[in-house]
Structure 1
Amino acid sequence: MIVTVTVNPSLDRTIVLGGPLQPGAVQAAASTREDAGGKGINVARVLDAAGADALAVLPLAADDPFAVVLRAGAVPACTVPVDGHCRANVTITDPAGVTTKLNLPGATPTVDELAGLEEAVVAAAEGARWVVLAGSLPPGVPDDFYAHVIDAVRTRWGAAAPRMAVDASGPALAAVVEHAHPDLIKPNDDELAELTGQVLDGDLTEAAARIGRALVPNKVASALVTLGGRGAVLVTADGAYAAVPPPTRVRSTVGAGDSSLAGFLLAESRGADPAACLVSAIRHGAAAASLPGTMAPRPGDLPTADIPVAHL
């Protein structure tokens, strides 16, 4: 079982244009779609599509229209009652794959609602292999919320506690790294630079590996750094690995990082070594980028070309 946690879910509306976005102009859309989004939900959707046992934990009001879209997507979910409704995100993509996103902040949960969400995560973590804390925090939620959840899970389950993965940014990621020693973080290059205050200059792959080594294993057990079209770098206590995706026709980059994380977790849960886990991450990220909106790649969508792995 892999449990994902989405504190700030979103109704993702994707608008596909027939040509480049023209700010200030009126344009007709070629197509549109709606998906139940949020990083943890995206990860759970990919895992479920691959036949893995996954559960998405999220806050959800009984009268929230988001529930209809969530059910339509058949995402295995555990919902925690709240009063506020999920936010909406708008993504605009053009035929060249250029993506523009408008993300709303989300409703502010109460102290009791946050406590209920934490309790639900702790309960769902029983017997799980991984718990994935993913995405932004809504307004009013303390920056160290993820760190508190990790502590609560480990305190409750002790030696049987699942591994903890975090895909966040800014103060939320910084608090986790400083106080919670997660088993895995998944920043992109910009998030890694913000976290460490270091510039990823020169060769991006080498820089990501160098900065990752400053975090692993003292602050985090491992780091999967996604680099967009340049692939990803995995840093563990035993070494650093890098790989690049095969040629991909990009349709939407939304959710590609989430799919990369799901691909890594799928392989790791099946006993793969670090290099194979990285290849799985690359394949899933590339597949997601080739699909419209935040569609979850299925096994048949994965590129089959060979993906060499360099041991840095």
Structure 2
Amino acid sequence: MILTLTLNPSLDRTIEVGALTRGAVIRAAATHLDPGGKGVNVSRALLANDVRSCAVVPYGGSEGRRLLDLLSAEGIDMIPVPVEGPTRSNVAIAEPDGTVTKVNEPGTALTPAELDTLAGAVLDAARSADWVVASGSLPPGVPVDVYAGLCRRFADAGINLAVDTSGPALVSAVNAGPALVKPNRDELAEATGTSIARVGDVLDAVGKLRAMGARSVLTSLGADGALLVDHDEQVWYGECAVEEPRSSVGAGDALLAGFLAAGARGATALAEGLAWAGAAVGLPGSRMPRPADIDRTHVRIGPPDPSRPLTPPPRSALDGA
């Protein structure tokens, strides 16, 4: 069983448009409302592919109740934790070439008592988990070492922790020695102070994260695929072509879900993660792929070429929210 924790879940509304023009009146071609937050998306992707998962989800206000309704409609096994502040809402505008413009609310603060309740719920449920995934941004006022604290407590209990976050929270978590971290290109650059323009730069930055304490690092690189450095220093690079991209929202979460579902190690797990991510990019909104959506024939895995240049990050097609 894979347990997920999302401290800052959301309602995600995706609006598909023909083109995004600043200051213009734009008519939407389609809209989609999905439950959101990185951990929530990991659980949704796992459920869609018959992998057991449970999501620990704080919720508040009418938005939070709507979030729970959407999760219940999908059949998500969850541990809902009521909080005082309202659940945030995010808006993504998707263009036909796969470019996504996002406006994310910051969320509302969690009190120390609410954080204690959430941590207790995670620790209780984690006793039967193979992996715990702690992912997403932190609400305002939440200590940056919250994931690091969980990592230390799980390590003592022999539980594997995967962390997918950014900024100071990522750095703090890495120093606590998680089993796996999944930064994207920008998060990796920020955490290591490294300018990333080539695959070789990714390898150098990942080396810094591992020196800080991370055992395995799975880096999502948008349209350039993903790079994995395992705990035993095996290195794999992979890509997945997407013929008709629709939305990259949640694709990084699908990558992590597929990777964990396939054993969280080596080329096979990387290939599965990329197949799930590529399928997610071809779906509207933040829908998670089902088995019928996943085409593994587009995945290519091999050793990395350090000299290979990376495409500019704003046109990312295989990354998460």
TM-score scaled by length of structure 1: 0.92
AA aligned to 2:115 is L
AA aligned to 1:110 is T
Residue 62 of structure 1 deviates from its aligned partner by 7.2
1:284 aligns with 2:279: no
Q: Which residue of 1 aligns with 2:296?
A: 304
1:306–1:70 CA distance, 2 compared to 1 (3 A) = closer
1:263–1:66 CA distance, 2 compared to 1 (3 A) = same
Kindly indicate whether the alpha-carbon contact (under 8 Å) linking 2:13 and 2:31 is maintained by their aligned counterparts in 1: yes
The CA distance in 1 between the partners of 2:151 and 2:47, in whole Å, is 23
Which of these residues, 174, 184, 187, is aligned with residue 183 of structure 2?
Answer: 187
The CA distance in 2 between the partners of 1:234 and 1:54, in whole Å, is 23
Q: Which residue of 2 aligns with 1:36?
A: 35
Q: Deviations over 1:154-194 (max 9, x none)?
A: 34xx2xx321000000011011112x100000001111010
Which of these residues, 249, 260, 269, is aligned with residue 244 of structure 2?
Answer: 249
Q: Which residue of 2 aligns with 1:15?
A: 15
**Quick one: percent identity of the two aligned structures?**
43
Q: Which residue of 1 aligns with 2:5?
A: 5
**Segments of 4+ moved more than 6 angstroms:** none
Q: Where does the alignment leave 5 or more consecutive residues of structure 1 unmatched?
A: none
Which of these residues, 165, 177, 183, is aligned with residue 174 of structure 2?
Answer: 177
Q: Deviations over 1:11-64 (max 9, x none)?
A: 0011111x1111111111111111110000000000011111100111123753
Kindly indicate whether the alpha-carbon contact (under 8 Å) linking 1:12 and 1:88 is maintained by their aligned counterparts in 2: yes
TM alignment of 1:112-131, pairs within 5 A: 112-131=113-132
Q: Deviations over 1:108-160 (max 9, x none)?
A: 111100000000000110021100001000001011111112223334xx2xx
AA aligned to 2:244 is R
The CA distance in 2 between the partners of 1:210 and 1:44, in whole Å, is 31
What is the DSSP-based 3-state SS (H/G/I as helix, E as strand, rest coil) of the residue aligned with 2:296?
coil
The CA distance in 1 between the partners of 2:61 and 2:29, in whole Å, is 33
Q: Deviations over 1:57-95 (max 9, x none)?
A: 111237533222222232221111211121000011122
The CA distance in 2 between the partners of 1:171 and 1:217, in whole Å, is 17
AA aligned to 1:196 is T
Aligned residues: 301
What is the DSSP-based 3-state SS (H/G/I as helix, E as strand, rest coil) of the residue aligned with 1:198?
coil
Q: Which residue of 2 aligns with 1:167?
A: 164
The CA distance in 2 between the partners of 1:71 and 1:91, in whole Å, is 23
Q: Which residue of 2 aligns with 1:216?
A: 210
The CA distance in 2 between the partners of 1:73 and 1:176, in whole Å, is 31
Kindly indicate whether the alpha-carbon contact (under 8 Å) linking 1:46 and 1:296 is maintained by their aligned counterparts in 2: yes
1:195–1:26 CA distance, 2 compared to 1 (3 A) = same
TM-score scaled by length of structure 2: 0.90
Which of these residues, 264, 270, 273, is aligned with residue 259 of structure 2?
Answer: 264
What is the DSSP-based 3-state SS (H/G/I as helix, E as strand, rest coil) of the residue aligned with 1:45?
helix
Kindly indicate whether the alpha-carbon contact (under 8 Å) linking 1:40 and 1:134 is maintained by their aligned counterparts in 2: yes
Residue 248 of structure 1 deviates from its aligned partner by 2.9
Q: Deviations over 1:256-299 (max 9, x none)?
A: 10000001001016xxx501011011111111101000001011
The root-mean-square deviation of aligned C-alpha atoms, in Å, is 1.5
Kindly indicate whether the alpha-carbon contact (under 8 Å) linking 1:13 and 1:34 is maintained by their aligned counterparts in 2: yes
What is the DSSP-based 3-state SS (H/G/I as helix, E as strand, rest coil) of the residue aligned with 1:292?
coil
The CA distance in 1 between the partners of 2:37 and 2:206, in whole Å, is 26
The CA distance in 1 between the partners of 2:35 and 2:242, in whole Å, is 28
1:148 aligns with 2:142: no
Kindly indicate whether the alpha-carbon contact (under 8 Å) linking 2:272 and 2:296 is maintained by their aligned counterparts in 1: no
Kindly indicate whether the alpha-carbon contact (under 8 Å) linking 1:143 and 1:171 is maintained by their aligned counterparts in 2: yes
Kindly indicate whether the alpha-carbon contact (under 8 Å) linking 2:234 and 2:266 is maintained by their aligned counterparts in 1: no
What is the DSSP-based 3-state SS (H/G/I as helix, E as strand, rest coil) of the residue aligned with 2:12?
strand
AA aligned to 1:263 is G
